[in-house]
Amino acid sequence: MGKGVMVESSTRLRPWRNDVRCAAIDSKPLNWDLAKPMDATLIFWFPRPANHYGSKNGISYLKPNAPVEPLSARVGDIDKLSRAVLDALTGVAYLDDRQVVHLEARKAYLMGLNAAPYTHITIEPANG
């Protein structure tokens, strides 16, 4: 939008960020120091599309030509996924996401047709 106002394009983002915040609040240690520099590790797990699987004699298998890494547009850009997590944790895991001094982020596929997507998030004080 005009005048530097940004609007999220996905209607699912706000509820997802809220879920991330609530999970962080529930798992945060009592003596957590919000002011320290932080390391963040993010693994975004996605279910494979059904077309990655074949079936023979009623047994499902991963097709040999199925991609190893999630590169499709439906999965999303790793920088945008990471930003969504880091923004969601502001005020919960740290005062501001600029305190994250080391970030590791990865996208990966889950196995199984009924696998549910999730994100494994680790935030810890930086070892510096």
Domain, as residue range, for 56? 37-125
20 pLDDT higher than 90: yes
- For residue 48, being part of any structural domain is answered with yes
- For residue 83, being part of any structural domain is answered with yes
DSSP 57-78: TTEEEE-TTS-SS--STTT--H
Q: What is the pLDDT of residue 12?
A: 80
Q: What is the pLDDT of residue 111?
A: 87
- For residue 74, being part of any structural domain is answered with yes
**Structural tokens at position 30:** 């009592």
- For residue 17, being part of any structural domain is answered with no
- For residue 42, being part of any structural domain is answered with yes
Q: What is the pLDDT of residue 112?
A: 81
User: Per-residue confidence at 71, pLDDT binned at 50, 70, 90?
Assistant: confident
- For residue 25, being part of any structural domain is answered with no
Please tell me the pTM assigned to this model.
Answer: 0.85
- For residue 22, being part of any structural domain is answered with no
- Rounded CA-CA distance 45/111 in Å is 10
Please give the tally of structural domains in the chain: 1
Helix (H) / strand (E) element for 106: namely: strand 100-110
- For residue 50, being part of any structural domain is answered with yes
User: Per-residue confidence at 13, pLDDT binned at 50, 70, 90?
Assistant: confident
| SS3 of residue 125 by DSSP | strand
Q: Each residue of 68-87: b (16+ CB within 10 Å) or e?
A: eebeeeebeeeeebbebbbe
* Residues sharing a CB contact under 8 Å with residue 100, sequence separation 6 or more, in sequence order: 37, 38, 39, 40, 86, 94
- Rounded CA-CA distance 29/24 in Å is 10
Q: For residues 4 and 16, which has the higher predicted lDDT (pLDDT)?
A: 16
